[in-house]
Amino acid sequence: MTDKGEYKRDLNYLPDRITADGRDGWPVEPGRYRLVVARACPWANRAVIVRRLLGLEPVLSMGIAGPVHDERSWSFDLDPDGRDPVLGIERLQEAFFKRDPDYPRGITVPAFVDIPSGKVVTNDFARMTLDMSTEWTAYHREGAPELYPEKLRDEIDDVAQKVFTDVNNAVYQCGFARSQEAYEHSYRKLFARLDWLSERLADQRYLVGDTITEADVRLFTTLVRFDAVYHGHFKCNRQKLAELPVLWAYTRDLFQTPGFGDTIDFAQIKEHYYVVHKNVNPTGIVPLGPDVSGWLTPHDREQLGGRPFGDGTPPGPPPAEERVPAL
């Protein structure tokens, strides 16, 4: 938090990478690593979607923490006996402390954990999804899309940075602001960028090029949570997503695309934000709304052309143990 009451996100993460050549000591190996996520978290949701789209489920297992955590970190309270069945731990904190007993920063998801040692490899969420696209190619499913094509990387990076600064992070800056000035600055920044995105997407189906890319994944995980939590809980209330015609249709288009909506659990999303953020919602009461049936209504974005998976194909259904409740 700055002296002006502005929320400042700590972006210092464990920088190690899992790569094809293993240059950081962590080579890509099927079955060696576990992706730890929480359905509620938008940053973790990115990794869940990319793993699904690329078909990495057979070689990269996934542990799912519950939606509510305390100061000691995310816990595996959804699993039998409250332990991750592969890592054998109750809290993600244990894997961070195996890596560094004096680990001084937040315990965050997503995280890659080395199963043999039980140590966290990295929690650098931005790099993790890019590496899944570029370093795990030997294990991508047949028909996997190119989410980070080399010829579009500069544009993807530029759009993704704008989205991070003015949308992904700005909703938190609105919600956690400690002064009226800080809140209003973040609010204006957020909606100016949403207006910019609406203009950009008015005549093109996806953010960069004519297929789904990393940029779309990064925007989707914030927009899909907008009406459920950010509009009310974080006071991002100029309009609901459902009142922004282009972005509402764009997000529904992605939601109805295999690999996106089938990773979303609105109940866990709402429980996390409204229960954990006691400074924003002291009562811990979780709202019953909004009505989610609109997510399955026609979006008509096909008229703009575009090919969701390029020359590839949609992913198959998620493994039974990873399915979310249907709307």
3: pLDDT strictly greater than 80: no
Residue 116 lies in a domain: yes
Residue 68's Cα: distance from chain center in Å?
A: 16
Q: What is the mean pLDDT of residues 129-134?
A: 98
Instruction: Judge if 111 and 177 occupy the same domain.
Output: no
Confidence category of residue 293, pLDDT binned at 50, 70, 90? very high
In this structure, the answer to whether residues 132 and 274 fall within a common structural domain is: no
Q: What is the pLDDT of residues 135-169, one digit of tens each?
A: 999 999 999 999 999 999 999 999 999 999 999 99
> Considering the chain, what percentage of its residues have pLDDT values greater than 70?
100
- CATH number for the domain spanning 302: value is 1.20.1050.10
CA distance 109 to 124: 9
Q: Which of 10-14, 55-59, 148-152, 273-277 shows the lowest mean pLDDT across its residues?
A: 10-14
Residue 97 lies in a domain: yes
Residue 74 assigned ligand-binding role: yes
70 and 127 part of one domain: yes
Both 250 and 295 in one domain: the answer is yes
Do residue 62 and residue 125 come from a single domain?
yes
- Per residue in 170-218, pLDDT tens? 999 999 999 999 999 999 999 999 999 999 999 999 999 999 999 999 9
pLDDT the model gives residue 76: 97
Per-residue pLDDT at 39 exceeds 80: yes
Tell me the sheet residues that pair with 36. Answer: 63, 111
- Using a CB cutoff of 8 Å and minimum separation of 24, what contacts does 73-77 make? 73/107, 74/36, 74/38, 74/107, 74/109
Q: Identify whether 26 is part of a domain.
A: no
**Same domain (yes/no): 57, 178:** no
- Tell me: do 179 and 125 sit in the same domain: no
Tell me how far apart the alpha carbons of residues 231 and 217 are, in angstroms, rounded to a whole number: 20
> For 323, which DSSP code?
P
Q: What is the average per-residue pLDDT within 227-244?
A: 98
Tell me how many domains the chain contains: 2
- Is the same domain home to 130 and 39? yes
Residues 171 and 68 in one domain: no
On whether residue 260 sits in a domain, the answer given is: yes
* Region class of 22: left (phi > 0), else alpha (psi between -120 and 50), else beta: left
Q: At 97, which CATH number?
A: 3.40.30.10
- Reply yes or no on whether the pLDDT at 55 is more than 90: yes
Task: Among 100, 120, 139, give the residue marking a domain's end.
Answer: 139
* Mean per-residue pLDDT of the chain: 97
Q: Alpha-carbon distance 279 to 275, whole Å?
A: 10
Angstrom distance (rounded) from CA 104 to CA 14:
11
174 is catalytic: no
The rounded distance, in Å, linking the Cα atoms of 128 and 130 is 6
192 and 77, same structural domain? no
**Which one of the listed residues 7, 33, 41, 187 is annotated catalytic?**
41
pLDDT class for 240, splitting at 50, 70, 90?
very high
Question: Are β-strands 111-114 and 61-65 bridged in parallel, bridged antiparallel, or unpaired?
Answer: unpaired
For residue 236, indicate whether it is catalytic: no
Q: What's the CA dihedral at 123, 129, 135, 138 to 10 degrees?
A: 120
Compute the average pLDDT of residues 271-279: 97
CA–CA gap between residue 183 and residue 178 (Å, rounded) = 7
Confidence of residue 4 (pLDDT cuts 50, 70, 90): confident
**What is the average per-residue pLDDT within 270-287?**
97
For 16-39, b/e burial (b = at least 16 CB within 10 A) is bbbbeeeeeebebeeebbbbbbbb
Structural domain contains residue 228 = yes
**String of DSSP letters for 188-219:** HHHHHHHHHHHHHHSS-SSSSTTS--HHHHHH
Same domain, yes or no, for 217 and 295?
yes
Task: Report, as an integer, the average pLDDT of 307-325.
Answer: 96
- Which residue do the tokens 């950009």 mark? 200
* Amino acid at site 134: T
pLDDT of 57 higher than 90: yes
Residue 278 lies in a domain: yes
DSSP-based three-state secondary structure for 19:
strand
Residues 6+ apart with CB under 8 A from 47: 35, 37, 110, 125, 128, 129, 132
Active-site pick, 13, 103, 139, 172: 172
Query: What residues make up the domain containing 228?
Result: 150-306
Q: Is residue 311 part of a domain?
A: no
Residue 192 inside a domain? The answer is yes
**pTM of the predicted model, to two decimals?**
0.98
Domain boundary among 108, 139, 170: 139
What is the C-alpha separation between 241 and 227, in angstroms, rounded? 6
Residue 60 shares a structural domain with residue 166: no
